[in-house]
Chain A
Amino acid sequence: MNATGIPLKEPTVSAAAGDMEQLERAYIDASTRVPVLIFYTSAMAWLVLGTLLAGFVSWKLDSPDLLSDISFLTWGRVRPAHMNVMVYGWASMAGIGTAIWLMARLCRTLLRYPLLLVAGACFWNLGVLLGVGGILLGDSTGYQWLEFPGYAAVILFVAYTLVVSWAVLMFRYRRGEQIYITQWYLLGAFLWFPWLYAAGQLMLFVVPVQGVLQSAVGWWYANNLLFLWFGAIGLGTAYYMIPKVIGRPVYSYHLATIGFWTYALFSSWTGMQRLVDGPFPAWMITASIAATILTMIPVATVGLNHHMTMQGYFPLMRYSPTLRFTVFGAMSYTVFSVIGVLISLRSVARYVNFTQASIAYSHLGLYAFFTMVIFGSMYYIVPRLVGREWRYASLIKLHFWASAYGIGLMTLMLLAGGFLQGVDMQNPTLAFSESVETALPYLRGRSLSGILLAAAHFIFAYHFGLMLLGLGRTSTVPTFLNPVEAETSGGH
């Protein structure tokens, strides 16, 4: 800890031991450089593309006659293209990048077999490219988050096999007996995803189940992708970054264990609540509603654990970009889960079913929680890979506030618009079109939030580009959001 009482750098134990550890870490970080940067750079490119597609979707919703002669720009193709670019291009690739780095650090061993990862990244990019191209050319399968046509799905699966075999190999070479909680989540994510993806593909396209069960499998897949893939990587990352930045161990390891197993058990049973009142046996939907309510247990334990770890260290969010993004994401996990419970209750679900509210829910999970945590981890990891510090504190601040306000506004607009739309839809004295008319102003508000998010992404992409080109600051001190000396000498 430094003189101000705020551990702005990692605590140095003793000179010799500390140096050894620092050196070891530096070597491990250097060994992850190429694969992680390939994943991050690809993810950034997809993020920018996905943002542009989102803008186009939003614009088309407002001017439905726009460019209607061009088949691949029709709204119903660009929308799934946007979704899949964000899910498989941005979120998955950035998540894998962070997971690789965390794996190497936590296994305390140099990254081996980097070619597996480089090949994995290439195949993954190819898969997403073909998949998005396929959607735009009219090959979409029509299942949410599984729109990629078969040829792209196969390539994506190959890419994934390369990455996961690397993770398992890496795990075998780990040093030290203890397996940190982050590794639990990461191992879980790495092992759940292939099963999930294979099960989804097989049950929908290879030996398709009958009728409505296809929808059930589709939603089972989509929800588990959100929880067991993105959620697991996000929570694992938060469990690493928060204690790391503030230089303090996790508050309770016991709580973390409970949180992990209840998370795995309950969140994997959610999904069917989205089919509420649909043509299904009622027990399926009830089981998922019950599971959704039970996810409050992991939410409470994880939330409590993070909160108690942070206790007394919240002022650090003023300085550390990583901490600010990560804590925002971790808090959003709670919000996301609570809203998930609220809109799954039958009495509420009847009003928000078939409305924009479900889009708010997906964005809360995928953006407010997962993406914000990943942004935080990138602010931590990238300087350690390129040997430069972030150049402009102001750009980081802009990025944070544009993202935070953007996603906040989007959630509010979609939830409020969705709820009012649902109330109108449930009112038989109003024509159906009234419910759509009700939602439209909120969708315009949503477009406004999209502008904020787009600004955030372009700023971050620019900043990231500077780092890649070696134009970051050369310094041993990380980039803080606010000048540390001036603030702390007066305030504390």
Chain B
Amino acid sequence: MKGLASLFLGIFGTFAFSWVGLTVIPNWQIGHLNPQSDEEGTDIYPQPQSGMAERGARVYAANGCIYCHSQQLRADYAANDIERKWGDRRSAPRDYIFDRPVFLGKMRMGQDLANIGARAPKEQESAPPGGAAAVAASPSPATSPVKAPAASSASPAPKALTSPAPVGASASPPPAAATAAAGSPAASPSPAGAPWPVQTAGEPPMYSAAWHHVHLYSPRSINVDSNMPSYRFLYQNRRISDARSADAIQLTGSDAPPEGWEIVPTFDAKCLVAYLMSLNQSHPLKDVRSAEGAPAAPAPAAGSPPPASPK
């Protein structure tokens, strides 16, 4: 039996070994990354979050979104995250250098959110410093075209969720689909466009800020099979004073508020949506290969192809 001193020494030694090996050395290796930029020092990626998105990250943490959603894409040889159109390249350490906390996640009871902001309709895609602008713009005319068919949406609301259309689309060879989408910058959420086969009538354009609000308030109004909790406590039910608020979310069916009432997002809900809209890893990184193979695409067109399978 060894002496007491060697017992203590061993207890500290083994632990120090692990601590240095798994936290200190990695910190030395990848703990001081800088954003990348092109030769002129412009086109900097990633950039810090705006105030609203930053607060939204705290709402995300507070309400445990991480227990069902990951924010990381694995390489194409390891998994089919890219084939699922969740993004066009794997995630790299550099994508997260401004994130605090980091929500890599360990569970996917819901889809990956690493690129959820990149899937927003073009006119709403968040500007580089985050989604504050996107939220401000959310209840704007962008949502008007879908108001008309609200009545017809009662029964077929969750259509296309089980239809073979998205499945077929996602099974197609990814490079072809990706180049097709990238080649047509007009990949807007037009109803005829193939990239949006699951656009539900009567709902705001998919992944727009308004859509996120409806989805957070009533997930099953968008996808009847969803088992995401509804976050009604992030919304306020209030009487319309003189005119309907521009912020009020558009609900149909049993979720709709009674006549003369409206449901508006709280500041936390707006921040959360701003945060979601800011999640975007579609910018090419020199560290990793993008699905197209050529990470030289100009930045404005770098919005990833809209997803074929939304859930």
- B-contacting residues of A (Cβ < 8 Å)? 60-61, 64-65, 68-71, 74-77, 79-80, 138-144, 178-179, 184, 187-188, 191-192, 195-196, 199, 203-204, 208-217, 220, 224, 228, 253, 257, 261, 264-265, 268-269, 271-272, 274-275, 277-281, 284, 287-288, 350, 353-356, 358, 425-433, 435-437, 439-440
A–B complex contacts, Cβ < 8 Å, 29 sampled: A64-B219, A75-B64, A76-B65, A142-B62, A179-B4, A204-B101, A210-B30, A210-B97, A211-B30, A211-B33, A211-B98, A212-B96, A216-B22, A216-B23, A269-B17, A272-B22, A274-B106, A278-B104, A280-B93, A281-B26, A281-B30, A353-B79, A354-B105, A428-B170, A430-B167, A431-B166, A432-B108, A432-B309, A433-B161
Set of chain B residues within 8 Å of A431, measured between Cβ atoms: 162, 166-167, 170, 309, 311
Q: Is the CB of A80 within 8 A of B74?
A: no
- Dominant secondary structure of chain A at its interface with chain B: helix
9 tightest Cβ-Cβ pairs between the two chains A and B: A76-B64, A142-B61, A268-B18, A211-B96, A138-B62, A354-B108, A264-B14, A71-B233, A277-B74
Q: How far is the CA of A196 from the CA of B12 in the complex (A)?
A: 11
CB distance from B6 to the nearest CB of A (A): 10
Whether the Cβ atoms of A439 and B109 lie closer than 8 Å is yes
Q: Of A211, A261, A281, A432, which one neighbours B102 at CB under 8 angstroms?
A: A211
Contact partner of B311 (CB less than 8 A), chosen from A76, A77, A204, A433, is A433
B15/A212 in contact, CB under 8 A: no
Interface residues of B (CB under 8 A from A): 1, 4, 7-8, 10-12, 14-15, 17-19, 21-23, 26-27, 29-33, 59-68, 70, 72, 74-75, 78-80, 83-84, 90-111, 161-162, 166-167, 170-171, 219-220, 223, 225-234, 309, 311
Contact call B1/A178, Cβ cutoff below 8 A: yes
Please, how many angstroms separate the alpha-carbon atoms of A187 and B10 in the complex?
A: 11
Residue of A nearest to B268 (CB): A138
Expressed in whole angstroms, the minimum distance between the Cβ of A162 and any Cβ of chain B is 20
In whole angstroms, what is the CA distance A257 to B62 when docked? 44
**B265 CB to nearest A CB, Å:** 14
A208 to B98, CA, bound (A): 11
The residue in chain B whose Cβ has the minimal distance to the Cβ of A71 is B233
Shortest Cβ distance from residue B247 to the other chain A in the assembled complex, whole angstroms:
19
Q: Which residue of chain A has the shortest Cβ distance to B230 in the bound complex?
A: A68
Q: Complex Cα distance A178/B31, Å? A: 45
* CB-based contact B83/A354 at 8 Å: no
Q: How far is the CA of A65 from the CA of B99 in the complex (A)?
A: 31
Q: Is the CB of B99 within 8 A of A216?
A: no
**Contact across chains for B26 and A213 when beta carbons are under 8 A apart:** yes
Q: Are B19 and A211 in contact (CB under 8 A)?
A: no
| Contact status of A199 and B19, CB under 8 A, knowing A77-B62, A79-B67, A264-B14 | yes
**What A residues does B83 contact at CB under 8 A?**
428
Q: Which of B8, B60, B70, B90 contacts A354 (CB 8 A)?
A: B70
Closest to B25 in A: A284
- Say which residue of B21, B166, B231 sits within 8 Å of A74 (CB atoms): B231
Q: How far is the CA of A437 from the CA of B22 in the complex (A)?
A: 36
CB distance from A292 to the nearest CB of B (A): 13
